[in-house]
Amino acid sequence: MSREGLAVGGQRRIALAQIAPVLGDRTRNLRVHSQRIAEARDAHADLVVFPELSLTGYFLRDMVPDVGLVRDSEELQALCFAAEEIDVVCGFVEQSPQLHFYNSAVYLERGAIRHIHRKVYLPTYGLFDEQRYFAAGDRVRAFDTERFGRVGILVCEDLWHLSATVVMQAEGIDLLICIANSPARGVQEEKIRTASLYQHVCRTYALLLGAVVILVNRVGFEDGLCFWGGSLVVGPGGDVLAEAPALDESLTVACLDPAELRRERIITPLGRDERLLLTIEELNRIRRQRYEH
């Protein structure tokens, strides 16, 4: 299959499907996905991205086994069918053959599953208790796509761990997608503090990776918490290219100019100059000191 990369060819259009999933109602949520995919296709988008656990809602707790999907489930096959002409990223509870359950993100391309990322860092602090219900993923890997070159996917908490982003830089990604279920917490300069923090992190990573960064966060209320939305696309120069409204469901479309990716990598070739072997050696030294006494 030909892989031309994001830095080659014409403009790409990305739709941010900022939705409010209904907790545990896969049927309704799947119908919303189909509607938003059709709207994104009508808007000539090449990719539509949904939030974390978009097929199920977030605070599932003991419902996790009831809403888990295997890879060849009818629901994922229906989404594959919808993804014949437009790439799709969405979040779901993945059931493995060993009956482990993962908070997963799937990338669908040309009617097939291209990649599944299992959330690695499961928060168990404050409002969160994911480790009680989910198994943790054990891989952070990029993959190739037809329209967007080398792509990496992270799920919410993964974005806050530098190790995941270091791996993505070593993978040479063109596009980093993070899907999230982030509740509103605090106010800073008349803006939701978590929204400000996420935007700051996304802009920083875009600059350091020399890549486009996409964040799609859900909206609505669940278990007494408000999810703030504010999904965005950040260009490789750190500029916000598009931003969805706070708190409301929306479909926001951003245009990516491949020439910008090329220009930023020429101006600031951080990926070219990264000394991967040095990083590996230093991490091995730390591992020996910390774990091999």
pLDDT, tens digit (0-9, with 9 covering 90-100), for 121-180 = 999 999 899 999 999 999 999 999 999 999 999 999 999 999 999 999 999 999 999 999
Q: Where are the alpha helices (DSSP H) in 109-255?
A: 162-170, 193-209
Q: Can you tell me the distance from the alpha carbon of 77 to that of 40, in angstroms, rounded to the nearest whole number?
A: 19
Task: Please say whether the beta carbons of 208 and 238 come within 8 A.
Answer: no
* pLDDT exceeds cutoff 70 at 5: no
Q: How far apart are CA 278 and CA 284, in angstroms?
A: 10
> What 3-state DSSP class applies to 2?
coil
Average pLDDT (198-208) is 98
Q: Tokens in use for 271?
A: 């990926």
Position 265: which residue type?
R
Sole residue written with tokens 């790409």: 12
Q: How far is the C-alpha of 56 from the C-alpha of 162, rounded, in Å? A: 28
Q: Is pLDDT of 186 > 90?
A: no
Q: Give percent of the chain above pLDDT 90.
A: 93
Burial class (CB in 10 A: 0-12, 13-18, 19+), 45: buried
User: Which amino acid appears at position 258 of this protein?
Assistant: P
Q: Which amino acid is at 256?
A: L
**Looking at the DSSP assignment, which residues form a beta bridge with residue 250?**
18
Length of the chain: 293
| Overall average pLDDT of the 25-40 stretch | 98
Whole-angstrom distance, CA of residue 146 vs CA of residue 230:
28
Of 90, 95, 42, 41, give the one whose Cα is nearest residue 67: 95
Q: Is the pLDDT of residue 48 over 60?
A: yes
